[in-house]
Structure 1
């Protein structure tokens, strides 16, 4: 889901919310112009609460900066701790395709380790991950303004931390709720390779002695499955003119495979992972 499609769908919905007799006399009204029809920039900041590390049952607060933009037909969309750039302009009608580059910084167990036993294993390096992103969007499924998007990111560590890769497919359903509100529900999964799994979920014999946890050698595969719900509210009730808006997000994921079986999760944490966040943004 791109910001342009989200906001223009809301604008179109409000345009059609006119008396039936007016539509009969004048025909369907044209969609009004919006701040999202040309180049735009949305910036925001918020706070989230989530696990101290992947598999933790201790929760910490962290900042949530957000940047979204469209410049010359190139879209910039947020990712967890990163961004994605889509080089394919969206079609005005029908199926649309996305293709570009995504990147993120992964700070898992690099800071904010609340569990003293896990902390005794030592802090990890931050990973910087880059790779391609692609997707396809199907509009107008249940109403004239909703969409279903199927997408995938494939990212490799380029900073020499875990030296592995992740593949993250997801399906996202978007629908406007009113002229000033919208909802997005996504379901996704994460697949990891052996290098990634070993770095984040293994416990070496030396670490076992230092921490008291059993030694564990993690292998790659399905890391997690989960879902997120995002709600957006324009503060003046009109998304067509930009300005201030509130965004709330709630999420749940379940660790699978060795990400679940590692003693970092099974003995010191939980396979059930929750996320919540609230932010404010400005579009111009």
Structure 2
């Protein structure tokens, strides 16, 4: 199976939209604009309380992290809130928010809860004849915790800025390492049925992670003809992605079908950039594009 299920990020912004609607519909939360006009209140509709977003689509992604060959990959995603517990998609997984402060009238909300994701390494047909000579890498199952804080009404009464971090450990015996993923996202509606989100993120990994995915021992070097390489942990990557969504009936608060798209750029650093898998056989510049459909009920 292909490595990257980043297409799940194309649906992440849908989870934040009900919070925007609640912000401007909550008593006392509607402020004035720079011209002194009072913004129109928005009824959160089906997004008030429990709701679920189910989505699927396709992404155009590198065949492995560091590759310069690309493939079309299907992806599923789920988001929502059930029993006051928030559900947010991750690449190959999801995060839960156990703090039920979504219905408060304040402009600051907190997130805290478990997070889990699957990480696929170099496996199957990578599109590179040299890399294909090596055995497939094992599936990593990363579990840990997510914490974050969201500030509503930053630039106007309808937007949200979120700062969060995932900390995860592999429990499946693949890379046996730790991953830290901080990020900042800004989401704003462009109309009642159109929204956009800009996300900036980074990733730090430990030595065990780096050696598993980027190192080449003597046997691997002999098989591939690539030079030996000892990888070190550290700052692995940084990226930015732009997400946009359009509700097909023009009102995201009444549920139904939406189209969501993603354009993403990720730059590799450190051992992720210097490994022969990237520096000789691939590229440190990683691009992802995706489009999907999401249904809210």
Same fold (TM over 0.5): yes
Task: Say yes or no: does 1:166 pair with 2:175.
Answer: no
Rounded to whole Å, the distance in 2 between the matches of 1:122 and 1:116 is: 12
RMSD value, Cα: 2.1
The TM-score normalised by the length of structure 2 is: 0.88
Question: Contact 1:235 / 1:244 at 8 angstroms: preserved in 2?
Answer: yes
Q: 1:113 aligns with which of 104, 117, 126?
A: 126
Equivalent position of 2:293 in the other structure = 280
Rounded to whole Å, the distance in 2 between the matches of 1:163 and 1:6 is: 36
Question: Contact 1:49 / 1:275 at 8 angstroms: preserved in 2?
Answer: yes
Q: 1:248 aligns with which of 261, 267, 270?
A: 261
Q: 1:204 aligns with which of 210, 217, 227?
A: 217
Q: How does 1:1-284 map to 2 (within 5 A)?
A: 3=14, 5-7=16-18, 9=20, 30-89=41-100, 90=102, 91-284=104-297
Deviations 1:130-182 (A, max 9, x none): 00000001111111111110000001000000100100000001111001010
Rounded to whole Å, the distance in 2 between the matches of 1:52 and 1:28 is: 46
CA gap of 1:113–1:100, structure 2 versus 1, over 3 A, is: same
CA gap of 1:211–1:4, structure 2 versus 1, over 3 A, is: closer
Rounded to whole Å, the distance in 2 between the matches of 1:61 and 1:28 is: 42
Displacement, 1:120? 1.0
Rounded to whole Å, the distance in 2 between the matches of 1:224 and 1:33 is: 37
Question: Contact 2:15 / 2:79 at 8 angstroms: preserved in 1?
Answer: no
Which stretch of the first structure deviates more once superposed, 264-273 or 63-72?
A: 63-72
SS in 2 for 1:188: strand
Question: Contact 1:10 / 1:180 at 8 angstroms: preserved in 2?
Answer: no
Rounded to whole Å, the distance in 2 between the matches of 1:28 and 1:150 is: 26
Question: Contact 1:51 / 1:60 at 8 angstroms: preserved in 2?
Answer: yes
Displacement, 1:6? 1.2
Rounded to whole Å, the distance in 2 between the matches of 1:176 and 1:81 is: 26
CA gap of 1:33–1:162, structure 2 versus 1, over 3 A, is: closer
Displacement, 1:66? 0.9
Question: Contact 1:110 / 1:126 at 8 angstroms: preserved in 2?
Answer: no
Displacement, 1:283? 0.8
Equivalent position of 1:17 in the other structure = none
Rounded to whole Å, the distance in 2 between the matches of 1:223 and 1:55 is: 11
Question: Contact 1:12 / 1:32 at 8 angstroms: preserved in 2?
Answer: no
Unaligned runs of 5+ in 2: 1-11, 26-32
How many equivalent pairs are there? 276
Rounded to whole Å, the distance in 2 between the matches of 1:122 and 1:28 is: 59
Rounded to whole Å, the distance in 2 between the matches of 1:120 and 1:211 is: 7
Unaligned runs of 5+ in 1: 15-19
CA gap of 1:33–1:7, structure 2 versus 1, over 3 A, is: closer
The TM-score normalised by the length of structure 1 is: 0.92
